[in-house]
Structure 1
Amino acid sequence: MLMSKVILPFILIMSVAFTARSQQPSVTPTQPSDSLVRELGEVVVTARDQSTRLVGNSLVSTIAGTPLAELGNALDVLSQLPMIKVSDDEVSIHGKGSPLIYIDNRPVSDGFDLRTLRSRNIRNVELILAPGAEYDATVGAVLKITTRRTFIEGLSLDDELQGKAARSLTGYEILNLRYFFRSSTELFATGLAAHNNSVMRGATVNSLDYEGQPTVVGSSQSIRRPSNNLSAKFGFNQTFGSLSFGAWYKVLREDGHFSNQGSEWLDDNPLIERNITKRISGTNHYSQYYLDKSFASGGRIHFDGSLIDRNTRSATTTAYTLSDLYPDVSSTQRYDSRLYAGKLTYSMPLSKGSLVVGTEDSYTTTRVDYRMLNEEIGSYIPSALSEVAQTSLAGFASYSAGFGKLGLTAGLRYEYKNFSYRLDGKRDDSLSRRDNFVTPDISLSYDFSGDGSKSLSLSYKSFTELPPYSSLSNGLSYTGIHEIEGGNPALRDGRSHQLQLLGMMGDFMMQATFRRSFDTYGFIKRIYPADNLQLIFQPVNFNVSAAWVYFVWQRRIGCWQPVLTLGVNPQWLEVGGEKYDKPVYAWFFDNTLSLPFGILLTANLYGQSSGYIHTQLMESKPLMMDAGIQKSFLGKSLTVKLSASNIFNSRRDGWRLRSYGVDMIKRQTYDNRYIALTLSYSFQPRKSSYKGSDAASSEINRL
């Protein structure tokens, strides 16, 4: 009922606006720019009412010359574009999950990179909804941000300072320096200091039959996560004619001291008060390198190299403060991982299109040393040293061509994986394995209008899904007197087949995706064999079919630029005799208003119904809202923005999991209702820095 009260007036506004559409001035013709073209050409905009076009399998949004260019930073821009959702600096694509993000072909490592890019320096954004063989097969979407090519010799500076007031105070400052000289050399450096202090409250209730008796296991949580982050990044770009190369190095230090005050209970027995403390510290090192060479024949060779070294230490203690029956439970964990990766591509014109061939290779090691310091608990949650090593070799070829209004893209990717698993120093041959994958993809598109306003595309791809390394660990973690969590080294690699249909007609767009997955993974809860009652939460393999259908309407009406998205996500899944087939309905209504005196207002409303995402039944959140207002001063060098998130305090997480005789209900509230003040200052703003890309992006995500 609430959704109908909100959405129906919007549909009425759409209908009135559509029928009252006035004739618009002409647009200067430009060559279509999409994933078929490596460098997006300049787009000249003269009062167009729609800034997003469907070109092949890509949504190409023009930012320069529109109100979006004055929003502030790249995150602000992405939050107002079709099919994109931004929440707490995390970018996701509707129905696709987290995308790979590039700024001028350099990878984006986190949301802070997007915050340093001023919106007025963005030329366009390309959202690739069907990435081809050049990318890892599990990549669901790719975001490519292209900046305006405005080089200014000398020093450029960007500084952003934010304070956020919720249940606690948090904030950060980012300073970005760039120096460009001799029209060929660029030096850049970025510093970050951040303080976070998030708060979460919740409760978990498990109902089951244990030894023939109805049993209830419950717990409550009140968690504080204060942490401090310091980061420094520096690098260079160098150009000599058609040859360019560069590198950057980044170090990130994280320190946190988490606390969780709550209680546990079993049936009608008295509550057992508990206090969990966790100290965590880590230092991460990242470095990337690139080389790019263009040839007079139109060919291009490009190399990217990546090195990541991550080290984290944590110590956890659970103390039952008012009971002598349960001794303290303490544990430590050391997590060390290292990634070496390289990606080499060669592209060349061929016939009416272009051919890209290349290889993407990596070597990854992960070592998790978990020590249980309580001897009694150690009888069923033992200390364990898990070591994983994987060699990944891939070769790919992709061909793209245009035949008038018809576009074709076809690719093939071969991958070899050598996975080695060792537990307490001994290789486990039953879990270690070697795999060979061949993943094809093909896409056909037709542009009826010639400018992307009326077009249709159909694509197919097959891919293999590799579980993250944390889910492959054999170690168990103590989470309560009767609850533990663990990985599953027996997880198999998943295999999926995906068919996608994209279409655009004027102000309307549609995306429909169907995926059949074999041996994908999700989470279940069941009784764990032990001397007393223990419930384990861990991942398992299963087969599932799912679909994602989205309808999008967008139109610029005077000073108002709205984007309305309606979506549904049905799935067909059965695990352990339990069916999980209730669909999720979602809606998003994003609005940008250009007010007098240079004031910009954003108001984003969204919601979703109850439904299953894999094995979890999500509770409904019918109406949520974020908003912001901002104004620039000093010739647009200084921007002041006041924003509010979760205005109705309705963004709360609740879900239910029924599996193997255990019925778990979990509800949580976060301090995501806040007011934030952001000050941004730019001195001689110009295009972004590093021009390279990342190698083995899927391995980085798994780490």
Structure 2
Amino acid sequence: MKYFLFTLFASLFANTANLHANFILSGKIIDSIEHTPIEFANIVILSPKDSTFVSGTITDEEGYFKIDKLEQKEYILKISFIGYNSYFKNIILRSDINNLEDIMLAPSAKMLNEIVVTPKEVPFKLTGNSGLIANVSTSLLNSVGTANDVIQRMPGIIVTDNNISVLGKGNPIIYVNNRRLNDNQELERIESSEISTIELLTNPGAKYDASGRAVLIIKTKKKQNGFSFQITERLRQAAYLGDNENVNIAYSTSNLNLFASYYHLYGKMKTNEKEYIRVTSDNLWEHDLESPYKYTNDIQQINLGLDWNINDKHAVGGQYQYYFQSSRNWADIKGKSVLNSSFYDEYIANSFIKEKPYKHIVNAFYKGSYNNRFSLQIDLDYIKNHGRRDQNTEEVSNMENRIVNTLSQSDYDLYAMKMTNNYKSTIGLLEFGGEYNNISGSGFMLNPEGYTKNNIYTTNEQKAAAFINYSKEIGGFGLTAGLRYEYTHIKATQDSIKTTKTNQIYNALYPSFSIAKNIEDVQLSLRTTKRVQRPNFSDLNGNTIYLNRFLLQTGNPYLKKVDIFDMNIQANYKMFYINVGYTYEKNPITFTQKEEDNSESIILAVDNFPKYQELNIISNFSHEIGRWYPNYTIGIRAPFFSVDYLDRSETYNKTDLSFRAYNDFTLPYNFILSLNFSYQSNFSYYLMDMRHYEKIDLGLRKSFFENRLKLNLEIRDVFNWVKEGNVMKVNNVYFDQYKKRETRYGQLTITYLFNNYKKKYRGSNAAKDDINRF
């Protein structure tokens, strides 16, 4: 079927390949005072008849731009960048390739004192590598708040409690100016007004880790030289008051960037959970549990770094991050058990959990441009990750009283290196390179009372990869083909004599291919890739976590990797966007439940299943209508998955329908009002049936003092509608869970910026997706 779709799509392109000539306009934008390249300047082609938008792009790190697929006629060239005077020029394309002389952009007398919006430019467009790009700086997206607020407005992305997921793809890898994020909390520290573009790749190419099924690339604007700082205070009020402080300090010259930041987050929240468990075997067990709990979270992060241009060809940099977290969880559990329809036991329990993880991250890079054609980048990483979890549970019941104490600890070290080479020529762009990383760790799990097994373990993983990616425009078609090879060796031992539990070697090739074409105002692309999902380290170890006397959680050292095949067709027409995707997973990994040795307890574990398939459709409408800026997204996901339950096949095929309506209104005195609505239907997610929800959010924001002071007042889930829950039926276990979190809260954000500078760091993490597997 997928080969038929590919042939049909390619034929459609071929029939229109020669309808329009392909004229190219290129040039370079330079600061008229410092004579340095201007990165992320907005290049717009307008019609001379009515000044309507024809095409556009942004400049790269060297100030270059290129716009193709133009006709041989007259246009208006507009170049703009915040802090500079706009540049206009009438041009006539006379040959296939039109290279302009260097264009000098002059700084303006002062920064604009309010938000800059260019309504005629649509916020979302397809890119040449089949990605979807949001032009943040030239749309109202530049005023919505933080990077998180922008990301959740992109088609197909869902943001909940700092968790970011892409419909049908899971959690994306995120880069900011080529540096990979280790913690999504950093997105709350990036103001939307500092962002130039955000690009979403739903089928990343060969140069990205094969375990990344989606990639988000955030580019920030280049700012003025000199000293700068930014301070943000965020207050969050629900049942308890939480606070969030963030301070960024930077000093920049034309060649050197020094930056430091401190981040602190404190929050206290409460949640209520209810669970019903039925185990059908020789006996029929039924358990009703209610677990209201409170938890606090205290996070601190320090960041220091530099980025130095040695000259116009070579740059180096380094960065150090320290992350510390302290969390506490108090739960009061009430439970009742029924055996074969007769009362068996009642119990109450008090549980206290304390966790204190920390992380040291060191990253360094070198970037060199040896001529106009060849460049390379080398990235080095060292990460030390420490985790510790203490749990104390006291249970009182009619049958047995228990005191359960557990202590678990893990320590991991990661060393990684990556080299990426770019070679540009008349025959196309060739990207190639390789990477290597080594992850070694050890840990233990202790329970002196004997309710879970004590465990000592070690883990070691070595991974080497090589990739090559080629892209070229041929006859109006944008073609990209890539191939990635990965070798992975995972070894894990258990107990003090280091008995081998896992010893797996993987060798695999991961191809990718895309084709793109513009037909008048319609952008089309087709992309297909093969990816992989490797088990998290917490899933591989044999630790058994004691949740309560009826629920245990354990890992699985025998997990296999998941092979994933993705195909996406995308189309964009002015304010409309649609993406149709298909996914096939071999040996998918998901949570499952099983009875523990014919007892009253069940075990929550992870396991491989034979296969999983999914069809998904994402459509978006975004446009300016007077003072109203609607951004509406509809998502449809149809899964195909089945498991065994009570000697029969149980299907999980409920279609996922989601609708998100973001509405921004520009009011007098430059206030901006947001009224947002979200709806999520009942749907199946692997072997869980999830419950529906809907919510309404309100927001009001305004900037003062030439954009230096920003206030943003929000009320999330105004009517407190969001309630979560899932039902799981697998093996001989029926599990029904209901959860109510504090989804309704008010939030006030106050941000003050001096010199409005955002640090620029061009390093990228060599470790890629492996960091998150800790």
TM-score, length-scaled by structure 1: 0.91
Aligned to 1:9: none
Residue aligning to 1:537: 604
Matched, 1:266 2:318: no
Given the alignment, which residue of 215, 236, 261 partners 1:164?
236
Alignment of 1:19-58 (within 5 A): 25-27=51-53, 29-31=55-57, 44=80, 47-56=119-128, 57-58=130-131
| Superposed CA RMSD | 2.2
Matched, 1:256 2:327: yes
Alignment of 1:169-318 (within 5 A): 169-181=241-253, 183-211=254-282, 213-240=283-310, 241-267=312-338, 268-318=343-393
Give me the whole-angstrom Cα distance separating, in 1, the residues matched to 2:764 and 2:322.
18
2: distance between equivalents of 1:629 and 1:110? 28
For the pair 1:105 / 2:178, whether they are aligned, the reply is yes
How many angstroms apart in 2 are the aligned matches of 1:594 and 1:49? 17
Match of residue 549 from structure 2? 481
Once the two structures are superposed, the pairs formed by residues 136-535 of structure 1 within 5 Å of their partners are: 136-152=209-225, 154-181=226-253, 183-211=254-282, 213-240=283-310, 241-267=312-338, 268-321=343-396, 325-375=400-450, 377=451, 381-429=452-500, 431-449=502-520, 453-529=521-597, 532-535=599-602
Following superposition of structure 1 onto structure 2, how do residues 42-81 of structure 1 map, counting pairs within 5 Å?
44=80, 47-56=119-128, 57-81=130-154
In structure 1, the partner of 2:203 is 130
Distance 1:387 1:580 in 2: 36
Per-residue CA deviations over 1:156-196 (Å, capped at 9, x if unaligned) read: 11111011111211111000000113x21111000012211
Q: What is the alpha-carbon distance in structure 2 between the residues aligned to residue 321 and residue 244 of structure 1?
A: 64
Range moving further from structure 2, 274-283 or 97-106: 97-106
C-alpha separation in 2, matches of 1:435 and 1:426: 26
Residue 693 of structure 1, CA deviation = 1.0
**Structure 2 residue runs without a partner (length 5+):** 1-48, 68-77, 81-116
Cα separation, partners in 2 of 1:292 and 1:320, compared to 1, 3 Å: same
Compute the displacement of 1:322 (Å): 6.5
CA shift for structure 1 position 204: 1.0
Contact 2:57/2:65, CA 8 A, preserved across alignment: no
Kept after mapping to 2: 8 A contact 1:28/1:46 = no
Counterpart check, 1:588 vs 2:660: yes
Contact 1:653-1:668 within 8 A present in 2 as well: yes
The alpha-carbon deviation at position 93 of structure 1 amounts to 2.4
2:493·2:501 contact (CA, 8 Å) conserved in 1?
no
User: How far does the alpha carbon of each residue in 1:603-649 deviate from its partner, in whole angstroms, 9 at most, with x for none?
Assistant: 2211111121000000111x212221111112210111111111221
Amino acid at match of 2:154: L
- 3-state SS, counterpart of residue 356 of structure 2: strand
Higher mean Cα deviation, 77-86 or 329-338?
Answer: 77-86
Q: Which amino acid aligns with 1:437?
A: A
**Structure 1 unpaired stretches of 5+:** 1-22
Determine helix, strand or coil for the equivalent of 1:390.
strand
3-state SS in 2 of match to 1:568: strand
Say which structure, 1 or 2, has more relative contact order (CA 8 Å, 6+ apart): 1
Cα displacement (A) at 1:599: 0.7
Is contact 1:40-1:146 (8 Å) kept? Answer: no
Shift of 1:340: 1.0
8 Å Cα contact 1:342-1:361 kept in structure 2: yes
Tell me the equivalent position of 2:112. Answer: none
Deviates more, 1:664-673 or 1:113-122: 113-122
Say if 2:494 and 2:501, in contact at 8 Å, map to a contact too.
no
Q: CA deviation at 1:74?
A: 2.1
- Please give the TM-score of this superposition, normalised by the length of structure 2: 0.83
> Contact conserved, 1:34 with 1:126, CA < 8 A, in 2?
no
Letter of the 1:344 counterpart:
M
2:166 is aligned, of 68, 90, 93, to 93
Larger Rg, first or second structure (1 or 2): 2
Mean CA deviation greater in 458-467 or 686-695: 686-695
Q: Is the 8 A contact 2:212 2:531 kept in 1?
A: no
Aligned partners of 1:169 and 1:656: how far apart in 2?
A: 33
* Structure 2 residue 683 is the aligned partner of structure 1 residue 657: no
Amino acid across the alignment from 2:347: I
Match in the other structure for 1:16: none
TM-fit CA distance, 1:389: 0.4
Q: Distance in 1 between matches of 2:567 and 2:355?
A: 43
Hey, what does 1:556 align to over in structure 2? 624
Determine if contact 1:224/1:259 at 8 Å carries over to the other structure: yes
Task: Measure, in 2, the Cα distance between the counterparts of 1:335 and 1:220.
Answer: 31
- Flag the 1:217–1:47 CA change in 2: closer, same or farther, 3 A: closer
- Amino acid in structure 1 at the alignment position of 2:245: E
2:740 corresponds to 1:672: no
Question: Distance in 2 between the 1:488 and 1:40 partners?
Answer: 51
State the alpha-carbon separation in 1 of the partners of residues 562 and 157 from structure 2.
Answer: 26
Secondary structure of the 1:524 match is strand
Q: Which moved more, 1:554-563 or 1:609-618?
A: 554-563
Once the 2 structures are TM-superposed, how far is the Cα of residue 246 of structure 1 from its aligned partner?
0.6
**Distance (Å, rounded) in 1 between the aligned partners of 2:773 and 2:388:** 19
Confirm or deny: 8 A CA contact 2:119 2:624 kept in the other structure. no
| Distance change (3 Å), C-alpha of 1:406 and 1:652 | same
Aligned to 2:711: 640
DSSP-derived class of the 2:53 partner: coil
1:38–1:331 Cα change, 3 Å? farther
Q: Do the aligned partners of residues 34 and 210 (structure 1) sit closer, same or farther apart at CA in structure 2, a change above 3 Å counting? A: farther
The question of whether the paired residues in 2 share the 8 Å contact of 1:332 and 1:370 is answered with yes
In 1: Cα distance, 2:284 partner to 2:637 partner: 34
Shift of 1:313: 1.7
Please give the secondary structure, in 2, of the residue aligned with 1:545: strand
Q: Distance in 2 between matches of 1:189 and 1:40?
A: 35
CA contact (8 A) 1:67 1:594 kept: no
